Amino acid sequence: MTTSKMYLNINRTFRNIFGQKTKQNFGKYNIVKPGKVSTQMTVPDHIPKPSYYLTGEPTELISCEEIKNTEQISKMRDSCQLAARILNEVEGYIQVGKTTDEIDKLVFSSCVENNAYPSPLNYKHFPKSVCTSVNNVACHGIPDDRPLQDGDIVNVDITIFYNGYHGDCSRTFMMGNVDEEGKNLVKATEICLHAGIRACKPGEFFRTIGTVIEETAHSLGYRVVPAFLGHGIGHYFHGPPDIFHFRNNYPGRMEAGMTFTVEPVLTQGKETIEILEDDWTAVTVDNSRTAQFEHTVLITNDGVEILTV
């Protein structure tokens, strides 16, 4: 689940153009209209919970990048591997006709069965256990009763809190007969993710990740949505460093023992997004599609390890 920098070019409006076929040169797909959101679920008492589960506000104060010790890294591995397994469960379940609310229920149940807490649930008052972002929804889509349609592309963003640590990953799935424009966008986004991860190693600047991702995106004909960042992660959901996915001047270098997410969002059109009245759902201003992929990574003594596999 991304962090967002609200000082970037984000407008808070509610657009009245949803539900139509796009008329621009972005391919053939449905522009998504938010649906009905079901009642928020309650995690059983026996499940260990993060600091924000009641108030919606995290209490951890993380002022600098954390260098994790062997025990912390082991717990991060466990949490990240469980997050990846749950995302694989979603891959086996998701299909045309399923609603994103049904996906949310699957994720919630899988977390509870594994004694884990679904990290998005009530994080800054997010009402669901997973983010599901379809077509023109760039990020932080709230699961609802809209059935997935043939040709949709949908990002499912899983974060879990397990044994005191968060693990975070996401993937964009293609539903049925996706057009070539959509397929190419999804492929390009995954390529950009792995290009950014390959840039990671001890001593490298954090900002190198963004430079590599943006250059790769541009070479493939796409833009990076700048509003959404990767982030440090551990016993806290979001913390330093900020991982920008575009050229930037963020200070600092990677060190062995750091864990953070890399999670670029690419768009076919303009980089600008709008936040809907639910205070979460981010949509593209020109209704272009976006795609996102995400891994949590660990900086090792000689390179980088993807934890969410």
User: Binding site residues for a divalent metal cation, as ranges?
Assistant: 157, 168, 231, 263, 294
Torsion of the alpha carbons at 210, 216, 217 and 219, rounded to the nearest 10: 140
Residue burial 141-178, b: 16+ Cβ < 10 Å; e: rest: bbbbebebbebbbbbbbbbbbbeebbbbbbbbbbbeeb
The Cα 13–Cα 94 span in angstroms is 30
Residue positions in the annotated binding site for substrate?
140, 238
Other beta carbons within 10 Å of 86: 27
The Cα 303–Cα 192 span in angstroms is 18
The Cα 158–Cα 15 span in angstroms is 27
The two structure tokens encoding residue 138: 């760039």
Residue positions in the annotated binding site?
140, 157, 168, 231, 238, 263, 294
Other beta carbons within 10 Å of 309: 12
